[in-house]
Amino acid sequence: GQQLNQSPQSMFIQEGEDVSMNCTSSSIFNTWLWYKQDPGEGPVLLIALYKAGELTSNGRLTAQFGITRKDSFLNISASIPSDVGIYFCAGQLPSSGSARQLTFGSGTQLTVLP
Amino acid sequence: EAQVTQNPRYLITVTGKKLTVTCSQNMNHEYMSWYRQDPGLGLRQIYYSMNVEVTDKGDVPEGYKVSRKEKRNFPLILESPSPNQTSLYFCASSSYGVAQPQHFGDGTRLSIL
């Protein structure tokens, strides 16, 4: 399957700091999604991006769909302890046989230190 | 409450003993999917279903079967489980439309000894 390169793999930050993570691919995607997974739970959708250049916010979270359609980033401002978890990017290819088939990045493990 | 429900949540079993993981959604979603999650690999799609009686292979279908006899249910079947199928499994569903995001269950942790 297609590869999504998500970085960094892990981050340790102090409470109150801003966080940035990104996903890149050699392929063009129609849609970029960002999910968060808490321990023992399934991923929960944070932000969905549908157009190149789109910048969308959800509270302290901001994500952008890259102009080239091959990348996306997620920023978290003023981190708090409950931001701890694994963040996944996911992309939908334009040529996907199913309109719902997603390719996931390998995840960014975020730890927020008090 | 909108939910995707998986059972069991945890299972330890032995090689070769057939098992089924059930998945049910109450949102009348057409699309359902199974993923496995392994450390450092993210989520990889096993099988998906566009609607009742319509299923197709994802990226890692070997060793798995699925069925979609009813819209709400999408069981994952391991006919002869092997240790390399030890993993965390997630079921997801979404409505059919332009890039409707998928809703995930809470996961099933399988250990095959």
Average pLDDT over every residue of B13-38? 95
> Which of B57, B60, B102 to probe the A interface (max A CBs under 10 A)?
B102
Residue pair A7/A108 in contact by the 8 Å Cβ criterion: yes
Could you tell me what percent of chain A has a pLDDT over 70?
93
3-state secondary structure B7-61: ECCEEEECCCCCEEEEEEECCCCCEEEEEEEECCCEEEEEEEEEECCEEEECCCC
Q: B71 to chain A nearest CA, in Å?
A: 16
Structure confidence at residue A93 (pLDDT) = 78
Mean pLDDT of chain A: 91
- CA-nearest residue of chain B to A8? B40
* pLDDT band (50, 70, 90) for residue B99: low
* pLDDT band (50, 70, 90) for residue B101: confident
Residue pair A76/B28 in contact by the 8 Å Cβ criterion: no
Structure confidence at residue B98 (pLDDT) = 41
Structure confidence at residue A102 (pLDDT) = 80
Q: Give pLDDT tens digits for A34-86.
A: 999 998 889 999 999 989 999 999 999 999 999 999 999 999 999 999 999 99
Average pLDDT over every residue of B80-92? 96
- Interchain CB distance below 8 Å, B48 and A40: no
Residue pair A98/B48 in contact by the 8 Å Cβ criterion: yes
CA–CA separation, A68 and B69 (whole Å) = 41
Residue pair B34/B90 in contact by the 8 Å Cβ criterion: yes
Structure confidence at residue B41 (pLDDT) = 84
Interface of A with B (CB under 8 A): 1, 4, 6, 9, 30-31, 33, 35, 40-45, 48, 50, 88, 90, 92, 97-102, 104-107
- CA-nearest residue of chain A to B59? A1
A80-89, A90-99, B62-71, B89-98: least confident range: A90-99
Could you tell me what percent of chain A has a pLDDT over 90?
74
* pLDDT band (50, 70, 90) for residue A96: low
Q: A60 to chain B nearest CA, in Å?
A: 20
Q: Give pLDDT tens digits for B41-82.
A: 889 999 999 889 999 898 899 999 999 999 999 999 999 999
Q: Which of A53, A54, A51, A74 is closest to A63 using CA atoms? A: A74
Tokens representing B18? 């057939």
SS3 B85: helix
Q: B80 to chain A nearest CA, in Å?
A: 25
